[in-house]
Structure 1
Amino acid sequence: MPTSIRALISEGLRVGVIMAAGDAICQTFVEKRELKNLDVNRILKFGAVGVVYVGPVLKGWYGTLDKIVPKGSPPLNRALKKMALDQTCFAPSFIASLIGIFGLINGESIPAIQDRFRNDYFTILSRNYMLWPAAQVINFSVVPLNYQVLYAQFISLIWNIYLSMKLNDEKK
């Protein structure tokens, strides 16, 4: 198996485990469910999205950022440029895609997904801007490229609890 495929698979698996953990923590501590009442299918869905989508997409995005932002800049300037691209170009579309993906895997109709987008997108995006710019400056300035997705996913453990709460809210 080519190294690049192996890297995507391992990144996906790591991200999947962390996303599943985020959903399990959300169910346990935010929704106050007992362990025997956890929605295992929901945990598996959240993890599967990490394996097949989030992990590979982030791996590719961070690699792209590393190529398009000139390496000659001072490290902090380079990190700020990467963060600006990440938060203006990537984050808005990535959040929109997650709303759609989770709507589809949860069996929501297209109109329901559109409603969820109208109701939740800007709230999620604004919360994103409270956490991720600072986290990404640290990521892009001190974390080696091959560990950037892993670092981001550990920060994401908290973020995934929030996302799970928003994207699995059945009241919508």
Structure 2
Amino acid sequence: MLAWYKARLAARPLLTQSVTTAILFATGDITAQQLVERRGASDHDLVRTGRMALYGGSVFGPAATTWYGILQRHVVLSTPRKTMLARVAADQLLFAPVFCGVFLGSMALLEGGSPRDKLKKYYASALTANYALWPAVQMVNFSVVPLEHRVLFVNLISIGWNSYLSFLNSSK
């Protein structure tokens, strides 16, 4: 399976990472609905899962793939440790605040609601939770994970994170 994935990644990196992201965003939503909310199969909201997959595959996957490439090419300092810390800082000060907002705004639009209301209600909570988890994850990601596997690494951690975001987004 890993050999197949690596071959697809080598042939079509953006497409492979986007499809993988779509699948893992959907997995995060399924986790939220079944393990956190305990909805059961008969009450599972497939449209909600579809929204998460659509966002993951068409927005986050391509954006994260591009972002990690930009960091790899343009954030290079005098030592590996300084480079890693600068990449984490850029990720957490630029990418994270924007993409917490993009996620909530996108979900509001896909749900037929108001992005402004959704952001006002959930943005601070999402960003605060982001800062509790992602700096440490990104330190590992930028120091030991090869560039071509960074999106996959983040997506695997994101099963839990996307479960949280899905739960937060669907809270009344």
Above 0.5 in TM-score? yes
Return the alpha-carbon distance in structure 2 between the equivalents of residues 32 and 5 of structure 1.
39
Alignment coverage as a number of residue pairs: 164
Shift of 1:4: 8.9
3-state DSSP class of the match of 1:155?
helix
Tell me, yes or no, if structure 1 residue 163 matches structure 2 residue 161.
no
- 2:58 — aligned with what? 52
- Conserved 8 A contact 2:106-2:115: no
How far did residue 107 of structure 1 move?
1.1
What residue is the counterpart of 1:24 in the other structure? 30
The 1-side partners of 2:44 and 2:97 are apart by: 30
Question: CA distance change for structure 1 residues 164 and 21 in 2, over 3 Å: closer, same or farther?
Answer: same
Residue type at the aligned position of 2:107: F
Deviations 1:34-57 (A, max 9, x none): 122211111111111111111000
Paired with 2:11 and 2:18, the residues of 1 have a C-alpha distance of 11
* Two-structure CA RMSD over aligned residues (Å): 1.5
Q: Structure 1 counterpart of 2:35, which letter?
A: F
Q: Aligned-pair distance for 1:156?
A: 0.6
Q: 1:54-101, CA deviations, whole angstroms, 9 ceiling, x for partnerless residues?
A: 10000000000011111x532222111100000001110111111110
State the percentage of identical aligned residues.
36
- Asked whether 1:79 is paired with 2:84, we answer yes
**C-alpha distance in 1 between matches for 2:118 and 2:55:** 18
Runs (4+) off by over 6 Å: none
Match of 2:94 in 1: 89
Stretches of structure 1 that go unaligned for 5 or more consecutive residues are none
Structure 2: which 5+ residue stretches go unaligned? 1-8
